Amino acid sequence: MFHFLQIGGSAESFAIAREVSALEGVRLTTSFAGRTQRRRAIKGAERVGSFGGTEGLIAYCLHNGVHGLIDATHPFAARMKANAHACAQRLDLPLFALARPPWMPEKGDQWTQVASSQEAADILPKSSKPVLLAMGRQEIAPFAKRHDLRLVIRLIEEVTPFPHPNHEILVARGPFALEAEQALFARYGFGALVCKNSGGDFARAKLLAARRLRVPVLMLERPKPPKGPVYTSVASLVEQVSALCRAEGQERACVP
């Protein structure tokens, strides 16, 4: 059996697991950081929790007989991507990395691209209208000091109290339909949206709602991914994984 370790976290990692675990002669384990309490079920085996840096990941791969890596982390999971890349190099393992294309501004969009959530919090103008933060709980801390803003923070899970005097937390999990996003924007009358450039369709509707309702967007740029080939779709990644497995299968069949 060819044992793949998928570093999961992105929405696509579930589709990849479905496809790869169905391949003949393949065993798949998907790893999650464990930040989400209520995770969807995934095909194949799963393990949860940090590895302990690159060295920990290497030790895990050696101990568990991993033959190949799939990087299906979220586009903002820069450290984990770097660790997977370094591990593949050190152990000379094949690495299949998914890189979902980023969103690009279109006609009617009012985007300001920012390098970090700190920069977003620093430059967001004072406004009487509420601001929608749709960027994950790891990025919201810099907004705690913006007492001059009313914050509406959308998260997939409730967080421990957020130290801000005028905020509301909306617990909701995507994907969100455009109609629902527009209704949300209209109900609150948002003055700005702050989000990450995650790309993909899963979380795109908020951008369309912002465009239609002329709401300015502060868009967090992605961290630079490690150098190396990437696949921009699940289908192209799975095709290459499958090709490798077929080649490995034939090679084994030829050994007398």
For residue 231, what is the DSSP state? B
Residue 175 is a binding residue for ligand NAP (CB under 6 A) = no
Contact partners, residue 63, CB within 8 Å, separation at least 6:
none
Closest distance to ligand NAP from the beta carbon of 156 (Å): 9
Closest distance to ligand NAP from the beta carbon of 11 (Å): 9
Residue 139 is a binding residue for ligand NAP (CB under 6 A) = yes
Give bridge partners of residue 134 from the DSSP assignment: 195
How many residues sit close enough to ligand NAP to count as binding (CB under 6 A)? 23
Distance, CA of 178 to CA of 103 (rounded, Å): 16
Residue 199 is a binding residue for ligand NAP (CB under 6 A) = no
For ligand NAP, the closer CB: 151 or 191: 151
Give the Å distances, CA to CA, from 43 to 8, 19, 23, 25: 12, 9, 12, 15
Q: Which residue has the tokens 């030829």?
A: 254
For ligand NAP, the closer CB: 135 or 191: 135
For ligand NAP, the closer CB: 56 or 101: 56
Q: Out of 33, 45, 59, 93, name the contact with ligand NAP by CB under 6 A.
A: 33
For ligand NAP, the closer CB: 88 or 191: 88
Q: Out of 2, 5, 7, 209, name the contact with ligand NAP by CB under 6 A.
A: 7
> Of 123, 173, 158, 116, which Cα lies nearest the Cα of 141?
116
Query: What are the b/e assignments for 192-206, b being 16+ CB within 10 Å?
Result: bbbbbbbbeeebbbb
Closest distance to ligand NAP from the beta carbon of 224 (Å): 13
For ligand NAP, the closer CB: 45 or 78: 78
Site for ligand NAP in 79-108 (CB under 6 A): 79-80, 83
| DSSP code string of 124-135 | PPP-SS-EEEES
Give bridge partners of residue 7 from the DSSP assignment: 31, 71
Taking CB under 6 A as the binding criterion, the range among 44-52, 105-113, 176-184, 209-217 that sits at the site for ligand NAP is 44-52
Contact partners, residue 153, CB within 8 Å, separation at least 6:
133, 140, 162, 167, 168, 169, 170
Closest distance to ligand NAP from the beta carbon of 198 (Å): 7
Site for ligand NAP in 52-71 (CB under 6 A): 52-53, 56-57
Contact footprint for ligand NAP (CB under 6 A):
7-9, 31-33, 50-53, 56-57, 73-74, 76-80, 83, 136, 138-139
